[in-house]
Structure 1
Amino acid sequence: MSSFSTLFKKPKPVIGCIHLKALPGAPLYEGKMGSIIEQALSECELLQAQGMEGLIIENFGDKPFYPGRLGAETIAAFTAVGKEIMRQAKIPVGINALRNDAVGALSIATAIEANFIRVNVHMHAVVCDQGIITGQAYETLRFKNKLNSSVQIWADVNVKHAVPLANIDLVQETEDMCQRGLVDAVIVSGNATGKATSLDDLKTVKKASSVPVVIGSGMSLDNIEMLMPYTDGFIVGSYFKKDAIATNELDSQRIKDFMAAVRQHR
């Protein structure tokens, strides 16, 4: 099983998001799987051409999101798209099955031989727009063992678009995630998609974590230099889009400028 440090060729890797259009079963699905695959492959090609060091695929268009298990139709479509991306990708690939289907994400990632998954609520419980979501670490880790899977589990602390159901401090949450949740990396982000990660939160998590810490939202040219010393990697989605709006198309110049800044500061 590879570790975070051996998975990526360079330190502090930049992981670009591939935001899928709505998949079958979702309210906004347009009835054309071919166009979903075409867009995903186009984004994969562009991100790799600009020097991306990892990719993460999300069913971003499937709003409103299921709080837990995805439907069979979604898992099947996600797997089909993911397999096509894996054929084209020359860098590590992750899966995020929104809002919080860790078992589904593990199933997809293991089937297509992806490298890691992102779990938004791995432990504890949060209140969000899907209601109350409870972490299923006990199930996720046992399911991974059942599959004999080498897929890494990256999990959020103080996850975006949510608030903790109970009052737990960030240090305790991070320590629990590492020691009891057995994660391979911890993700810290701002309070919403595209919102900057707090420097204080990042420092706190980095100090408390025994595994690599990845920034999960809000990276920009304005904060790379400030945040770089306290992170082991970046997941970037919104900033790579035109006008930094998550639903817009990728902007190659924004990606190019960001990657140049990363190379300058790391």
Structure 2
Amino acid sequence: MTPIGPFGDPPTVIGMVHLPPLPGSPGFEGDRDAIRTRALEDAVTLEAGGVDGVILENFGDSPFYPEDVPKHVVADMAALATAVRSAVDVPVGINVLRNDAAAALSVAGAADADVVRVNVHVGAAATDQGVLEGRAHETVRLRERIAPDVAILADVHVKHATPVGEADIERTALETAERGRADGVVVSGSGTGSETALADVERVSNALADLETPVFAGSGVTAETVGDVLAAGADGAIVGTALKEGAETTNPVSLEAVREVVDAATNR
């Protein structure tokens, strides 16, 4: 298996910090302190459970801006990421939904984070936000200017989307890693919490074997399935729903659930 940038040697489990609705979003409840407290509690619990890293994501901000979030979203995420960065010793990642890689890099640079996740890095995808186009040419150049040490994890056939065009998943993975210069790729299921197909993991892992580009499963991984995902060729998994109380995506992180997934990945 391939070492995964800031996360070290595999197998790697990265836990999600799903932020509640931020100011300006329809579901915002008027309390920035509560959002900060929840983010810190989730991040600290993830670290206590043994994850190798955490990713902050503005999960509660639906309906999402397609590619350019307002400045206040960047400001709030930078403040939250800085607080989380100070509270945990594991690597920290940033994902700004739906596909604002420039904002994610800006937050990562300001907060001294380690990685960004980009949902559509190359090619194009039809989504509920419309057609999103990859901007690898801009993202990679911006990274060199403002956050050169930040790794880029890029999705291949991202969830909640349909690829535009005829490219199969192997070709998309190769173009993401080679021409898009992503440091790692993410393979996921059809939606949040949906199981990542083992066949897709295997196909992408095989396609990238010569490049030694790490592959993550990006959705639906549980304590029961993480061993199969790793056996199919994944170097790690990004886990959200399965680590929450009652396996509900918007619930707080459960320490017991985190330990179950981490133990299953480590002792498979």
TM-score, normalized by the shorter chain, greater than 0.5: yes
- Distance in 1 of aligned mates of 2:28 and 2:159: 25
**Contact (CA 8 Å) 1:4, 1:185: kept in 2 or not?**
no
Q: Check 1:14–1:148 CA distance in 2 against 1; reply closer, same or farther (3 A cut).
A: closer
- Distance in 1 of aligned mates of 2:147 and 2:175: 24
- What is the aligned partner in structure 1 of residue 228 from structure 2? 226
- What is the aligned partner in structure 1 of residue 69 from structure 2? 70
Matched positions, count: 263
Query: Alignment identity in percent?
Result: 39
> What secondary structure, in the 3-state scheme, does the structure 2 residue paired with 1:61 have?
helix
**Contact (CA 8 Å) 2:173, 2:185: kept in 1 or not?**
yes
- Distance in 2 of aligned mates of 1:208 and 1:92: 27
- Distance in 2 of aligned mates of 1:251 and 1:24: 26
User: 1:174-185 counterparts in 2 under 5 A?
Assistant: 174-185=173-184
Residue 253 (structure 1) shift: 1.9
Flag as ranges the 4+ runs of structure 1 deviating above 3 A.
3-6
**Contact (CA 8 Å) 1:241, 1:251: kept in 2 or not?**
yes
- What is the aligned partner in structure 1 of residue 248 from structure 2? 245
Q: Which runs of no fewer than 5 residues in structure 1 stay unpaired?
A: none
**Contact (CA 8 Å) 1:21, 1:59: kept in 2 or not?**
yes
For normalisation by structure 2, the TM-score amounts to 0.95
> What secondary structure, in the 3-state scheme, does the structure 2 residue paired with 1:118 have?
strand
- Distance in 1 of aligned mates of 2:73 and 2:261: 33
For normalisation by structure 1, the TM-score amounts to 0.95
- Larger relative contact order (Cα-Cα within 8 Å, sequence gap ≥ 6): 2
When the two chains are superposed, the root-mean-square deviation of aligned CA atoms in Å is: 1.3
**Contact (CA 8 Å) 2:65, 2:98: kept in 1 or not?**
yes
- What is the aligned partner in structure 1 of residue 214 from structure 2? 212
Residue 13 (structure 1) shift: 1.2
Range with greater deviation from structure 2 (146-155 or 31-40): 146-155
> What secondary structure, in the 3-state scheme, does the structure 1 residue paired with 2:141 have?
helix
> What secondary structure, in the 3-state scheme, does the structure 2 residue paired with 1:214 have?
strand
**Contact (CA 8 Å) 2:108, 2:147: kept in 1 or not?**
no
Q: Which amino acid aligns with 1:226?
A: D
Residue 150 (structure 1) shift: 1.1
User: 1:133-212 counterparts in 2 under 5 A?
Assistant: 133-147=132-146, 149-209=148-208, 210=211, 211-212=213-214
Residue 168 (structure 1) shift: 1.1
